[in-house]
Structures are given as structure tokens and as C-alpha cells.
Structure 1
Amino acid sequence: MVIPREQIATGEHLTRLYVQVPGNVDAKTDRTTTTEDEKKNASKKKRAEVTLEYIFQQANAVFAPYKIKVKEGTVPDWYAAYQIGQRMTPKFSSRTPDGVDRVFIVGDGQGMNVSMMDSYNLSWKLAHSILGLSPSTIKNSADPVLETFELERVDTARQLIEFDTKFSHMFSGKIGSGDSSTAGLTHDEFLEVFRDGSGFTSGCGLEYKSSKLVRATEGSQDMVSSAGDPLYGALTPGRRVLNVELKRYADNTTRQLHEELPSNGRYRLLILTSTDLLDPSGHSQKALRASTEIVESHPAGSIDLVVLHPIKDRFEWTQIPSEVKRLAEMRTYGLAKKEDAYDVYGISREEGAIAVVRPDGYVGVLCRLSTPEFAKYLGGCLVTI
């Protein structure tokens, strides 16, 4: 498999090359926790036999009658032998007798791609718990926010192993060769699996299941199902908010949403107003007034109000609720010339929507402008004052 990579400082473009090493390794020899040193050494010896020359030998056997080699005057940026090993702990946290989760594991699935998200998921929830932001619980009971760490990340680890098993079997087989694991597999099907797995390789395309922190849309008239593919931006509870380009209303400058929402541990109440924004009795203004009440019913600084609008004609601050300028003067945005946020997110301009974005950038709930469902969601995540 050949993957084009980025251009580096020298001006050269990198290319990543994956080459299958023929032969199987007994899974028993790949247990890094074994006490049998000879088995450890067997694994190390196997990997040590994979030299740069050996990699190109295997690659050229595939490319024949064509050839591939290192460009003259350059050297390989990096190479290594990856030995497939799929293991998973049954628990990611451990609770002490006082009912508090105090010991945690963050993984190394696919290297940094997944383990960093383990760490990030845990860190904001730890801070949330330590600062007393979680809703009140009875004595000797788990923190309702912190306990979702294990729920979300164990499931992610399981999905990763299932994908890695499927992908490695496909990659090690011959497409359309009749092998039981790759029988009838076409090149397009191979690419589809690779695309679906990009959530793991990027670390940003994962989807958390329903929990206290994720309210699914199924079966509720108050919820909204955004149109489009979640992998490419549609707002979906449990998935990360995609970055979009916006035009900030206060100073008419082009902004990137992710840069406007720094990782500071706050929830974001994202109001995608509709085309009725300038109607004082419309759903948009009612939602904006209700949202300010919700923001102020929780600890100061725990929720940022963010407002998007689809209005192309000019309007003044005085035409919308005054609370917007007070709470979100520098977080009120219109559509940019190059990108339409409503199209990217799959939200109708005529209907609008409200999304609560968790501190880690994942959508917690997506509901209609006319529903108080977002208030119920925040009440289950944050203490009220």
C-alpha cells in the first residue's frame, strides 16, 4: 500500500510504503508481559530481520516489472517493522472503597492516534470532577461525568481492535484470491474499509455511544438528525465537531471555528439560528433568550454561548436579543464566502438547531430550536447554581 505524504522542509514529498512481511509469528511470542525471556527475544529477532533492503526487496517483487527505490541524494525518513499484536485490558479505571474512581489506564492503540484521545477524554473529566462541576451525587457513589471515561474509551478500544483485525487480515491477504478473509474483495472495497478506519488513524473520527454525555437522536421528536455523512462534518451526537470557516459578525473577519473554541474545559452552547432570526416572536430569538438563562444557571465560565446565523443581509445588534451581544459578542458568526457552515453540518437554514458541544469538542446533544432538551442535557452534566 502506497500513501502520499506531506512536503517536508527540503522541498521533497514523502511517500509512505507498507510492505507485508511473509510468514506468521506465534501470538504467544508477542506478549510483552511474558516472563519468558526467550519468547521476548524471538519477537525482537523477528523484527530485527526486517531491514531496509529487505523492505525494498519485497516492494519490488510487488511492483515488478517496475521498480521503486530511494531517490538519489536522499535517505529514508523512517522505517520500522510493525508486528501485529491485539490486546486489551478489561477495565480502564479502578474504584476505591469510598466509591471514587482513582486509578486510570490510558492506552497506546495505534500509537499516539488513539492514546492522546484517551488522555484528553480523561483529563477534562478529571478537572470537571475535581472542581466540583458534576451534578451532586449521593455519598460513596461514582462521579457521573468521570465514570463515562471507561464507558467511552473501552468501547473505542474494542472498535479499534475489531477494525485492526479486519484491516490486517485484508492487508495480509491477496485481493480476490479466494482467501477466506479476503474472498471476493475488490480494490474499491479495500479503499472503503481504509476510509472507514480513518477515524482511528486520525484519532478524530470516532463516535461515542449514548450515555449521560451523549444523547442520541433516535425516537425523540425534540432531536434533530442532520443530513450528510458524519465522517465529513454532519453534526452527530457522539462525534467531533468539524472545523468550518466563518465570518465573525463583530469585526467582519474570517475565522476558523476550532481556533475560536480553545480547549479550556468549557461546554459550548452552539445555536444555529434559522432564517427567522430577525423575527422577535420567531424560534431563533426565543431560543437565544432561553439559552442565556441556561448559561447563567450554571457556574460562571463553564458554558460559552456561540451563535451562528444564515442571514445574508445587514442587520444591527438591536434587532436581536441584547443577551447575545453581552454573552457572545465575539462568538457570533455568519457564513464565510468559501464555506457554508449549514451545508457542512447538514442543518436546514429554515429550521436551525441547537448543539451542546462537550469540552473535548464532541457533540453531546443536537435538538430543535423550539425544544428545551439542551437544558435537560446540561442539567445532567453540570451542577446548577
Structure 2
Amino acid sequence: LRINLHLGLDVVELHIGLADIRNRCAVHSESGSVMVIPREQIATGEYLTRLYVQDPGDVDAKADRTTTPGDEKKSSDKKKRAEVTLEYIFGQANAVFAPYKIKIREGTVPDWYAAYQIGQRMSPKFSSRTPDGVDRIFIVGDACHTHSPKAGQGMNVSMMDSFNLSWKLAHSILGLTPHASENGADTVLETFEAERVDTARQLIEFDAKFSHMFSGKLNAETGLTHDEFLKVFRDGSGFTSGCGLEYKPSRLIWSPQNSDDMVVATGDPINGALTVGRRFLNVELKRYADNTTRQLHDELPSNGRYRLMVLTSSDLLEPDRQSQKALEACATIADKHPAGSIDLAIIHPLKERFEWTQIPSCVKRLAEMRTYGLAKTEDAYKIYGITKEQGAIVAIRPDGYVGALCRLSALDTVEKYFQGCLITI
């Protein structure tokens, strides 16, 4: 296996005439490639910029692993990394940016610079069972997957590993999850490995493809086009943000094929259309109780609770119609599980003002400060891909992923979903 050596550095301020220097972008030329990542403003008021610079030479990824212990002679690859200087990095960057010239502003120094190799490795398992058949040992982050460090994708995926494990582990320790396995294993906790191994595999495959394309040249000889590179470049945002991930069907993810009661939202999931297995994205809403504009993600903090979100239809104020039946049934479902394990939340599409007495009393009891109408700036129903005539019930996991998306009439399906996630009381 041979892979490219890459050079990285953070600098305070760059002098260059390139217009895109304050945008995340990749620059290709016959001399190689440079990725530009604008960073944050620091205490001096200036802005950092990160450059990833491709070294034109190759290094042997196996060489470092085959060096015998105690051998004073380092591998040629280690020597090459040790010999990298700031002047060398800027020389290579300027060759790529030509005819533009790039240099550090006088009086400042780089925050850091280094040379590193890109390699993709992944552990086949993220958990280990003790003789009693129960998962008791878990690994996350770099302990189970390594890849290029570009754009913080490793850090973000590692944090998602940890969060995925932490809420399931907390529920297991607190006795909130049903133990359906014959050996007493926690069937909810067991989903950690299945979900995160699949995510890591997707990340490794993407990273290998992206690293290969970044190191290649855009020309007819290689067959690599600008449009192909741009598509892969954009796809990478799914790993750095988490919004591009989609968990496969499981105890916690009920796909639309599982039941005719499921809803399939219309629209692009990246732009917010509700999709089972994907993140429940933020929208701006108006809270009914105090008529204030709220960001939904601020209203639903990551506190280990499931959310039972009811998007009522336009028949909300009509007694004995589907919206009111759904609200009453969802309140009953929440009451069947441990207190505080499920938060009820409501979004309605009505423009006219109404009184609490016109809707089921359970709404004020369980969701007084989690009942919302539409904001002037955004239409939550349009963003989520749900019609106001149909409405929907959304089961949201503690990590913010959609576990089930059901019709307002699919109350038995909603109840069965939560019975698989939480104990009943």
C-alpha cells in the first residue's frame, strides 16, 4: 500500500489575491493540490486559515510498521516527515497557487505545521462480550477507525460514536431499556455496534475515495473531472455535520417498509425532509404559550429523552377528528413509560388564535411550553415534507435521529415502537 504524504499548517493571516481564500475550497493544478479551510477569529481579531498541501512524492505506509524496535535507522518515510520545513510547505503551496503568490503576513508565525500520512484502518468490532453473552467492553473514535484528519471529520464522527454509546449505556444502567434477549443482553445497547460500524465503514470508504481524488490531477489522462471532485467534496459535509448519515432499520429505526402506517416525506433529506434513520433538523417556530420565536433544537436539548413529536393536521380544532385523537393517544403512550423518558411536543399549522380549552387538556399538562405554530420566516411542514392536511407523528431518539415516522392514525405502531425502546410502567 502506497499513499501520499500530506502537509498541514494553520497560519494567522495570508497575503494572496485568490478570492476564494476565505471559502472552504480545493485548488488543483499540475503541481499538485491544496485544500483551504477558513478557521475562526482569534483574540487578536485576526482569522486563522488552514492549508492542506499535497506532497508530490509518495511514501510507503507499511514502512513505519516494519521498522524493528531499537533500530536507530528510521524509515525513509519518517525521515521525509522529519525533514519537512515551513519553507518547503510554502514552496509547494505557491507552486499549486501560481500565478498567485501566498505568504504569511509579516510579524506573524504559523500556529502549527506538520507532515502526515493518510491511511484508512478500521476495527472489525466496536464492542466485546463477556462469557455471559453481554456487551461490556466498548471502543469509540480513533480506537476503532483512523483516516485523514481533514475538516474534523474524525473528531465529529468520534463524538457521535461517544454520544450514540453514552445515551444507550445510560438507559441500560438506569434500567430503562427492555431486555428481550434470552441471555439478558440489552437489545437497545447492542445497536451501538451495528450503527457505528456501518457509519465508520461508510466514512472509511468515502475518505479513501476523497483522498485518492484529492491527490490526483484533474485531466483527461486520469479521467478525474471537476464535477466528480465537487460532488465528493460536498458529500464529505455529511460526515463533518452528521446530517448525511442514515442508520439502517433496527429496533430503534423503523423503516417505511415495516408498516403501511408509515409516512414517506417529500423533498430532499439534506434540506430537512423527515427521513427515518436521519437527523431531525432544526426549524424556526413560534411558541404558542408566550408567542415567542424559537429554534426547535434549542427547545429539545440533548438530555437523554425520546421525543414524541406530533405535527397535527389542519383539523386540530375539530373534536373527534384525527389530530385530537392522536394527541390524546400520544399522551397516553408517554404516560405508560418512566416519567421523563418521553417528551411530548406539538407543531400545528393553524394561523388563527385558539384557546387551550379547544384542544385536549393533555397538551397543556404535558407540552405547554413545547407547543408551536409556524414562524413567519419558515414553514416547518414544507421543510419536513409533511402536508398540513395529513400531518404526522415523529418518534425522535435521544440523539436526535428519527426513529419512526407515522400517520396520525397509526397509534398502535407508535406504541409498539416505544415498547421496543423503553420499559413500560
Assess if the C-alpha contact under 8 Å between 2:283 and 2:296 holds in 1. Answer: yes
Instruction: Describe how 1:1-385 pairs up with structure 2 within 5 A.
Output: 1=26, 2-31=36-65, 36=69, 41-42=74-75, 43-108=77-142, 109=146, 110-179=153-222, 183=223, 185-218=224-257, 220-372=259-411, 373-385=413-425
**How far is 1:204 from its partner?**
4.2
Inter-partner Cα distance in structure 1 for 2:219 and 2:314: 52
**How far is 1:208 from its partner?**
0.9
SS state of the match for residue 318, structure 1? helix
The one-character-per-residue Cα deviations of 1:78-136 (angstroms, maximum 9, x if unpaired) are 43333111111111101112221110110225431111111111110111111111113
Assess if the C-alpha contact under 8 Å between 1:238 and 1:364 holds in 2. Answer: yes
**How far is 1:70 from its partner?**
1.8
**How far is 1:73 from its partner?**
4.0
The one-character-per-residue Cα deviations of 1:212-270 (angstroms, maximum 9, x if unpaired) are 11111236421111122212222111111111111111011111111111111110001
Inter-partner Cα distance in structure 2 for 1:352 and 1:284: 8
Give the partner amino acid of 1:76.
Answer: P
Give the partner amino acid of 2:118.
Answer: I
| Runs of at least 5 residues in structure 2 that lack an aligned partner in the other structure | 1-25, 27-35, 147-152
In 2 relative to 1, CA 282–29 (structure 1 residues): closer, same or farther, beyond 3 Å? farther
Inter-partner Cα distance in structure 1 for 2:337 and 2:172: 15
In 2 relative to 1, CA 147–246 (structure 1 residues): closer, same or farther, beyond 3 Å? same
CA RMSD, 1 decimal: 2.1
Which runs of at least 4 in structure 1 moved beyond 6 Å after TM superposition?
none
**How far is 1:37 from its partner?**
5.9
Inter-partner Cα distance in structure 2 for 1:86 and 1:57: 28
Give the partner amino acid of 1:145.
Answer: V
Assess if the C-alpha contact under 8 Å between 1:308 and 1:334 holds in 2. Answer: yes
In 2 relative to 1, CA 22–131 (structure 1 residues): closer, same or farther, beyond 3 Å? same
**How far is 1:47 from its partner?**
2.7
Inter-partner Cα distance in structure 1 for 2:188 and 2:121: 27
In 2 relative to 1, CA 282–100 (structure 1 residues): closer, same or farther, beyond 3 Å? same
Give the partner amino acid of 2:61.
Answer: A
Assess if the C-alpha contact under 8 Å between 2:206 and 2:236 holds in 1. Answer: yes
Assess if the C-alpha contact under 8 Å between 1:287 and 1:370 holds in 2. Answer: yes
**How far is 1:281 from its partner?**
2.4
In 2 relative to 1, CA 60–261 (structure 1 residues): closer, same or farther, beyond 3 Å? same
**How far is 1:282 from its partner?**
2.0
Inter-partner Cα distance in structure 2 for 1:78 and 1:227: 46
In 2 relative to 1, CA 275–40 (structure 1 residues): closer, same or farther, beyond 3 Å? farther
Inter-partner Cα distance in structure 1 for 2:386 and 2:305: 24
SS state of the match for residue 333, structure 1? strand
- TM-score for both structures, normalised by structure 2: 0.84
Percent sequence identity over matched residues? 76
SS state of the match for residue 53, structure 2? coil
Inter-partner Cα distance in structure 2 for 1:49 and 1:374: 61
Give the partner amino acid of 2:155.
Answer: M
Give the partner amino acid of 2:386.
Answer: I
In 2 relative to 1, CA 29–276 (structure 1 residues): closer, same or farther, beyond 3 Å? farther
Inter-partner Cα distance in structure 2 for 1:299 and 1:263: 18
Inter-partner Cα distance in structure 2 for 1:311 and 1:38: 75
SS state of the match for residue 128, structure 1? helix
In 2 relative to 1, CA 382–11 (structure 1 residues): closer, same or farther, beyond 3 Å? same
Give the partner amino acid of 1:375.
Answer: E
The one-character-per-residue Cα deviations of 1:297-343 (angstroms, maximum 9, x if unpaired) are 11111100011111111111111111000000011111112222112
In terms of fraction of residues, the more strand-rich structure is 2
In 2 relative to 1, CA 224–36 (structure 1 residues): closer, same or farther, beyond 3 Å? farther
Inter-partner Cα distance in structure 2 for 1:40 and 1:353: 66
Inter-partner Cα distance in structure 1 for 2:190 and 2:287: 37
Inter-partner Cα distance in structure 1 for 2:232 and 2:61: 25
Give the partner amino acid of 1:101.
Answer: D
SS state of the match for residue 149, structure 1? helix
Inter-partner Cα distance in structure 1 for 2:249 and 2:389: 28
**How far is 1:38 from its partner?**
5.2
Give the partner amino acid of 1:92.
Answer: F
Assess if the C-alpha contact under 8 Å between 1:29 and 1:39 holds in 2. Answer: no
Assess if the C-alpha contact under 8 Å between 2:396 and 2:404 holds in 1. Answer: yes
**How far is 1:14 from its partner?**
3.4
- TM-score for both structures, normalised by structure 1: 0.92
| Runs of at least 5 residues in structure 1 that lack an aligned partner in the other structure | none
Assess if the C-alpha contact under 8 Å between 2:279 and 2:402 holds in 1. Answer: yes
**How far is 1:177 from its partner?**
4.0
**How far is 1:8 from its partner?**
3.8
